């Protein structure tokens, strides 16, 4: 055979097929309508043209979601970013396919047959007639669909060929990542909190009196007064009727000044009067839980997988940057 065969595809045919498949014909061929149907050249990659309609076909499902979530300038910004990213992805895909062709590699036709059979089985319950009817409704030919599937297999296969997944991660790098990201491998720290809030009442000139009241309440608490009853009598926040009981909270529940104080307290300890934005708070931590860090031996495999993925992404970007540097690319 004049052209070489991709050995990695021969060794792992179904992995190559499954990893870069489309969900259905309809998902890849959503039509554009109205003003959006106006077409033009979005980019030129060597001798290949990418049109605006090709970009819109890629982003249409995501755009529909954005239009339901945003409006005005924010919507325009989000759609612009989305289309820019989609265009870059299309450019990279063309460069990868062109690299495949330049290396005179080949995809065995039976791989594409297997992929089409898999699409029919997974998305049409094995009904080939329903599959063909859907393609016709979307104005797709079998030849066009085969070309799309071939391109997807090529892209995934070339990525696998040029970016290895079994990268070795030095133990020292794993240990460094563990030291720098211990919060990722710990149980969420929580405290069981009660709190009394005394408003400053700056509008009535009673700031001094309110602070004195807060200090007096704290004095009673540290000499044995019941926090529950004191909160019901004096607190003016939403937990007053619950005796100031906030239950179990994490470090994101309260504002940072209050959270920092709460998580510095030991069980049974009562805070000093804390002034935040002109209001006065008294907190009591009743219990603590979580915050334990898993030992390195228990998370080593997880860290290695993370670092391997990061390294693979860096290698992939380096490979794509190399392809871009050797190509003629013009965007409009």
In a domain, 174, yes or no: no
- Taking residues 170-190, report their average pLDDT: 91
CATH number at residue 84: 1.10.4030.10
192 and 157: one domain? no
Task: Report how many domains make up the chain.
Answer: 2
158 and 24: one domain? yes
282 and 241: one domain? yes
Q: How far apart are CA 211 and CA 275, in angstroms?
A: 9
In a domain, 206, yes or no: yes
Give the DSSP H or E segment for 52: helix 52-69
CA-based nearest residue to 303, from 159, 163, 165, 172: 172
DSSP code string of 100-148: HHHTT----HHHHHHHHHHHHHHHHTT-HHHHHHHHHHTT--HHHHHHH
**pLDDT of 53 strictly over 80:** yes
Q: What is the pTM of this model?
A: 0.58
In a domain, 298, yes or no: no
In a domain, 78, yes or no: yes
**pLDDT of 199 strictly over 50:** yes
pLDDT band with cut points at 50, 70 and 90 for residue 39: confident
Tens-digit pLDDT profile for residues 279-288: 999 999 999 9
Tokens of 16: 């190559």
Parent domain of 96: 7-162
CATH number at residue 266: 3.10.50.40
Q: Which domain-ending residue is among 274, 289, 304?
A: 289
In a domain, 51, yes or no: yes
In a domain, 1, yes or no: no
152 and 206: one domain? no
pLDDT band with cut points at 50, 70 and 90 for residue 194: very high
Tens-digit pLDDT profile for residues 241-286: 999 999 999 999 999 999 999 999 999 999 999 999 889 999 999 9
In a domain, 296, yes or no: no
Tens-digit pLDDT profile for residues 88-104: 999 999 999 999 999 99
């Amino acid at each position: 055979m004049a052209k070489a065969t991709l050995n990695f595809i021969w060794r792992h045919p179904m992995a190559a097929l499954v990893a870069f498949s489309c969900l259905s014909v309809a998902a890849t061929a959503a039509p554009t309508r109205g003003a959006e149907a106006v077409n033009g050249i979005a980019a030129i990659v060597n001798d290949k043209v990418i049109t605006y309609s090709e970009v819109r076909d890629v982003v249409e499902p995501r755009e529909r979601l954005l239009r339901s979530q945003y409006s005005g300038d924010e919507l325009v910004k989000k759609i612009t970013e989305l289309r820019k990213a989609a265009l870059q992805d299309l450019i990279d895909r063309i460069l990868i396919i062109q690299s495949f062709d330049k290396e005179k590699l080949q995809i065995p036709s039976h791989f594409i047959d297997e992929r089409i059979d898999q699409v029919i089985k997974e998305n049409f319950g094995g009904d080939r007639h329903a599959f063909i009817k859907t393609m016709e409704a979307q104005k797709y030919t079998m030849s066009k669909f085969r070309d799309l599937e071939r391109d997807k297999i090529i892209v995934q296969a070339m990525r696998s060929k040029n970016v290895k997944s079994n990268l070795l991660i030095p133990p020292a790098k794993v240990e460094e990542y563990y030291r720098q990201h211990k919060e990722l491998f710990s149980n969420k720290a929580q405290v069981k909190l009660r709190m009394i809030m005394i408003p400053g009442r700056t509008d009535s000139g009673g700031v001094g009196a309110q602070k004195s009241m807060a200090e007096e309440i704290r004095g009673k608490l540290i000499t044995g007064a019941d926090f529950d009853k004191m909160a019901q009598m004096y607190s003016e926040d939403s937990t007053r009727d619950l005796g100031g009981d906030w239950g179990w909270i994490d470090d994101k529940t309260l504002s940072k000044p209050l959270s920092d104080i709460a998580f510095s307290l030991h069980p049974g300890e009562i805070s000093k009067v804390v002034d935040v934005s002109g209001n006065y708070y008294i907190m009591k931590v009743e219990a603590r839980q979580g915050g334990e860090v898993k030992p390195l031996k228990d998370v080593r495999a997880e860290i290695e997988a993370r670092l391997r993925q990061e390294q693979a992404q860096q290698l992939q970007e380096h490979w794509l940057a190399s392809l871009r540097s050797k190509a003629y690319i013009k965007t409009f």
